[in-house]
Amino acid sequence: MTDLLRLENLSVHLLANHSSIPVLQDINFSVAEGEILAVVGESGCGKSLTSLALTRLLPEKVFSYHSGKILFQNKNVLEFSETELYSLRGGEIAYIFQDPFTSLNPIKKIKDQIIEPYIIHISQNKKEAIEKAEFLLGKVGITDIKDRMEAYPGQMSGGILQRISIAMSLMCNPKLLVADEPTSALDVTIQSQLVDLLMEIRKENKMSILFISHDIGLVSSISDRIIIMYAGQIVESGTVDSVMDAPLHPYTTALLGAIPTIGDLSHKRLDSIPGIVPAPIDFPKGCHFHARCTKALDICKTKNPNMTDREAQSVRCFLYEGEQTKNA
């Protein structure tokens, strides 16, 4: 499969109080055409920052792209002109955000919001844009389409609005859809309907999806590959089967231990991970996870591990570093 998107050693810094604080460090991953890649981690791990960095949506007065490359169709987004960025955002790469109540404009009719990307990126023909919007609203299961088009976001439920956001994201036939916690603000029943809908649309449109979530159970059922992030770094990546069946990083193991299993009647308490994800300003020396890790070694407090490649996985942990040399 050809790579649609590839991040190479991307590091992003936060500029604050005359200092430059790393918030994303050495991010490497790719998304192939038609692939679903899941990015998982607790809040504050850097998932959303990574998703916004892809199209340089992080305000450049506050964040600096310190090093690395963001290659979309082999062109480095960090070298894009304003015009190229404009066509990328909402055109070739579209986003669905967590809360449709905040991502949609409350004082603009749905009709005006949904046709906007089409008018900007494809054609100024308003009639054509409305026809496409009505078609897509039907596709995502909206009824009373003409009434919905004339309504305002505050007149609808979160589930309906998220369906409208999905339709809006598809107006320009994006090659990559970035779904940033698209269902976590919704009821569980609506969540599964929307995930099914996204899967159906992805199949029909042959687009790639970067699916960001804190819910490893949810994304494992729909993704091809998975990335686990912790405190601004990727700590494990691999195929969904390999990571779910044999997690390597202690953080991944802990995340999996916190998922309930349907049908498990043992009444065993779910595991929790003590402590919290440190803020970038407090990223510790050594392995970022060491204060919460049950397997920490002395070296973990002073040195940050590199990624070690295994057959279907890569992992950032001293428990595996040196394996390649040993096995060579």
**Residue with smaller CB distance to ligand SF4, 143 or 325:** 325
> Please, what is the minimum distance in Å from the beta carbon of residue 287 to ligand SF4?
3
> Please, what is the minimum distance in Å from the beta carbon of residue 253 to ligand SF4?
10
> Please, what is the minimum distance in Å from the beta carbon of residue 214 to ligand SF4?
19
**Residue with smaller CB distance to ligand SF4, 6 or 290:** 290
Alpha helices of 177-290 — where are they, by DSSP H?
A: 188-205, 216-220, 240-245, 250-257
**Residue with smaller CB distance to ligand SF4, 42 or 128:** 42
Q: Which residues bind ligand SF4 (CB under 6 A)?
A: 249-250, 287, 289-290, 293, 295-297, 300, 305, 317-319
**Residue with smaller CB distance to ligand SF4, 297 or 307:** 297
> Please, what is the minimum distance in Å from the beta carbon of residue 246 to ligand SF4?
16
**Residue with smaller CB distance to ligand SF4, 6 or 292:** 292
> Please, what is the minimum distance in Å from the beta carbon of residue 317 to ligand SF4?
3
Q: What count of Cα atoms within 13 Å lies in the side-chain half-sphere of residue 111?
A: 13
> Please, what is the minimum distance in Å from the beta carbon of residue 313 to ligand SF4?
14
In DSSP terms, which residues pair with 72 in a beta bridge? 5, 75
Tokens coding 208: 């790639």
Angle made by CA atoms 174, 177, 183, in degrees to the nearest 5: 140
> Please, what is the minimum distance in Å from the beta carbon of residue 310 to ligand SF4?
14
Task: Identify the H or E element spanning 149.
Answer: helix 145-150
**Residue with smaller CB distance to ligand SF4, 49 or 293:** 293
> Please, what is the minimum distance in Å from the beta carbon of residue 255 to ligand SF4?
13
Closest of 229, 174, 181 to residue 33, by C-alpha: 174
> Please, what is the minimum distance in Å from the beta carbon of residue 49 to ligand SF4?
21
Question: Torsions phi, psi of 117, nearest 5?
Answer: -60, -35
**Residue with smaller CB distance to ligand SF4, 40 or 194:** 40
**Residue with smaller CB distance to ligand SF4, 76 or 302:** 302
Helix (H, G, I), strand (E, B) or coil at 42: coil
Closest of 223, 278, 224 to residue 251, by C-alpha: 278
Rounded Cα gap, residues 36 and 237, in angstroms: 13
Helix (H, G, I), strand (E, B) or coil at 281: helix
Q: Do 91 and 172 contact (CB within 8 A), yes or no?
A: yes
**Residue with smaller CB distance to ligand SF4, 6 or 249:** 249
- Which strands, in side-by-side order, build the sheet including 225-230? 93-96, 176-180, 208-213, 36-40, 225-230, 233-239, 313-316, 307-309
What number of other Cβ atoms are within 10 A of residue 226's Cβ?
Answer: 26
Tokens coding 266: 């043992």
